[in-house]
Amino acid sequence: MSLDQLKAFLGRMQDDSALRHAVMAAATADDVAQIAGALGYEFSGDELLRLSGQKVGGRVPLSGVKPEARLP
């Protein structure tokens, strides 16, 4: 996983309300990863879920992924 890619995406999401709304509306972590991929960031939904609930780079916890969308 590229933690740097994920951190950069989260930073962009914090500063971009339209992107934040798109992420909040995403049904699954894979959908979030696809949104990020379209913007040039590379990480998987599984990687995102592994970090879910943790603070990354002093920013807010990853809470945009709906719990029901988490992989077993």
pTM score: 0.71
Q: Provide CB contacts within 8 A for 24, sequence distance 6+.
A: 64
Instruction: Give residue limits of the domains in the chain.
Output: 3-57
Q: 61: closest CA among 17, 5, 4, 13?
A: 13
The answer to whether residues 65 and 52 touch, using CB atoms and an 8 Å cutoff, is: yes
Convert the pLDDT of each residue in 14-52 to its tens digit: 999 999 999 999 999 999 999 999 999 999 988 888 877
Q: In 10 A of CB 65, how many CB atoms?
A: 24
Write down the pLDDT at residue 36.
Answer: 96
Work out the angle at residue 68's Cα, subtended by the Cα atoms of residues 63 and 69, and round it to the nearest 5 degrees. 75
